[in-house]
Structure 1
Amino acid sequence: MALGRFSDENLALTATLGGGVWSPVLPLANLKDQSRFISAPARQMFPNDPTKARIEAVLERDRTINLVAVMFHTLGLTAEYRLTVAGPGGTLAAPLHTGDWTPVHGRMFPSVNLPWEEPNWWLGSGRPEDLVLYPRHLWIVLRPGLKVSAVRIEFRDPEAAWFDIGGLWIASAWSPTFNFDHGRELGLDARSLADETPSGRVIHEERVGRRRLTVSWSMLEASEALKLFDAGARCGTKNPVLLLPDVDDPVALIREAFPATFEKPPAPRRGRKFETLVNATLKEIIA
């Protein structure tokens, strides 16, 4: 199990975005609007042309990053992406690193959970009906982190007429020396409404549920706890944060990693060295 990765600062918000050809009605600049991920995405009208279906983000200054997230996307089952980064003081024309074309959607189910006759038994990939269970987020993890000046993400989705991206997150995600405690809790808040008619018929108004993840760090150094306290001061209960509990477990990551807000700002309880406790509950952002 990898250490959980936490981020409360999105470097994409201060980056200069460009690259590709995007809808003039739903432009690339929408990726910086963290208040309307779903209703105001960036729309790509040339989904199978990587020269047009690309995002280039020039950072405000050279930064070490270890996570790039493409959030609330509508890319299909056969879609792929490729990540390119420019080194310190460099350009994307002469990149520091260019990755391989990689499927956007990885394993969603362990093969042992699937009947042998299912066509997705070997790869454990989701079906179209599985993709609608949760908002779609692409987590691109860099190990080790790289010091970069710019990032490019190219896409190709041969089966789509167009696709949307709701948000972009670039981060130097943080991990403490010791991970959060075993026993993290993943829950789902039902939001559907029910009303009963005089005759006794129950009428339902279906709404998407909201996930919540509760974790406890009980072996923090004081400075690590204060880092989480600062995150609460910075984000409050309004601005987004990210917590990826285990980047080595893609099956769980689909269900446990999502843009979220603090239910309440973290409140450290000070103890001896590596005995400071912080509890946090993260509520999913769904729109």
Structure 2
Amino acid sequence: MARLLAWPNRLDAPEVLLSGGNWAIGLENLQDMRLSKVSRSGDLDMASTRFRVDFGVERTIQAVAVIGHNADLDGRVRLTGYNDADFSDLAYDSGWLDLYPPLFSPSDLEWEDENWWSGRISSEDLGEDVRTYVRILEQQFLRYWQWEFDNRTNPAGYLDIGRVFMGPGWVPAGKMTRTPTLAAETDTVVVRSLAGSIYSRRRKSRRVAQFRIERMDQVEGTNRALRLALDRGLDRDILVCLDTDEELLGQQWSLYGILRNIDSSPLEFSGVEDTAMNFQVEQITG
């Protein structure tokens, strides 16, 4: 079991150029953390639902994500990386992949379930959760990338994307000795009348991950763990994958979010050479 923490989002650098496709609401919204500020394709033609990324310089990329999209269950994605500005010298190709990978094995479902064959989330269960696709790569050091989406069956008639993340990853050499936890939180307001009736103002639920990394040497603890907290603060995004080897639950065990409680989670010098640090990551939902 390997955990990965990814930051910063290289898409946000001022020199990054996004181009291509047919986007009725511009690609610049992909560089905004607010998922409500979407990029929206003009139609569902595959020539429209794609775009290119020029980082300006070669960048190390290990973790990518598509967050806050509106693709239906037939949605697919392909990510390619190139050595040249003409996008002709292919260096990386993910191939076409489902935006909704399997979450269940056949033994987890009933034969009558609509998703028994695919193992993917059912249309009924898509619900209000932020639709997110996460992929962990072998490290790539490239300047030019292309995202392509195939979702011609989308009933909305267009593809929305709230955010795209592309960044380097840190796989701690230290150990997560405290079992990570995933909790559900909500800001839903619930009141009860004198007669006992319940009234509510519903808000989206969000996931919160908590974990502790121990037995980091002082270099890793200072230059990675503490630097993460200093750089991200409470308002800059991070992508966390709690288990990069998990096939069925990897998507659900990954979080695009922000750190919290960093003032009460200092870097601890727990031994002559060792350090440790606690982390909490809160999912961004809007």
TM over 0.5, shorter chain: yes
* 1:102, distance to aligned residue in structure 2 (A): 1.4
Partner of 1:286: 285
Q: CA offset at residue 274 of structure 1?
A: 6.6
Which residue is equivalent to 1:37? 35
Q: What residue in structure 2 maps to residue 102 of structure 1?
A: 97
How far did 1:98 drift?
Answer: 2.8
Q: 2:142 aligns to what?
A: 148
3-state secondary structure, aligned to 1:252: coil
TM-score, normalised by the number of residues in structure 2? 0.91
Residues 44 and 274 (structure 1 numbering): CA distance in 2 closer, same or farther, change over 3 Å?
Answer: farther
Measured in 1, the distance between the counterparts of 2:206 and 2:160 equals 21
CA separation in 2, counterparts of 1:98 and 1:253? 20
How far apart, in 1, do the equivalents of 2:132 and 2:221 lie? 28
Cα 1:274–1:210 shift into 2, 3 Å? farther
Unaligned runs of 5+ in 1: none
- Superposed CA offset, 1:212-251 (max 9, x none): 0001111212122121211111111111111111122243
Residue from 227, 231, 237 that aligns with 1:230: 227
Q: Check if 1:277 corresponds to 2:273.
A: no
- Whether the 8 Å contact between 1:236 and 1:264 is mirrored in structure 2 is no
Is 1:185 aligned with 2:181?
yes
The one-letter amino acid of 1:33's match is D
Deviation at 1:211, TM superposition (A): 1.1
Distance in 2 of aligned mates of 1:210 and 1:108: 19
Aligned counterpart, 2:249: 252
Report the CA distance shift for 1:264/1:119 in structure 2 as closer, same or farther (over 3 A): same
Amino acid at match of 2:192: E
Identity of aligned residues (%): 21
Per mean C-alpha deviation after superposition, the further-off stretch among 176-185 and 230-239 is 176-185
Match of 2:124 among 124, 129, 138: 129
The list of structure 1 runs, each at least 4 consecutive aligned residues, that deviate by more than 4 angstroms after superposition, is none
* Match status 1:239 vs 2:236: yes
Is residue 2:110 matched to residue 1:115? yes
Match status 1:9 vs 2:3: no
For the aligned residue pairs, the C-alpha RMSD in angstroms reads 1.8
Tell me how far apart the structure 2 counterparts of residues 73 and 117 of structure 1 sit (CA, whole Å). 28
TM-score, length basis structure 1: 0.90
How far did residue 60 of structure 1 move? 2.7
Question: Alignment length, in residue pairs?
Answer: 279
Alpha-carbon distance in structure 2 between the residues aligned to 1:109 and 1:156: 23
Q: Report SS of the residue matched to 2:29.
A: helix
Query: Which sections of structure 2, spanning at least 5 residues, go unmatched?
Result: none
User: Aligned equivalents of 2:218 and 2:51: distance in 1?
Assistant: 39
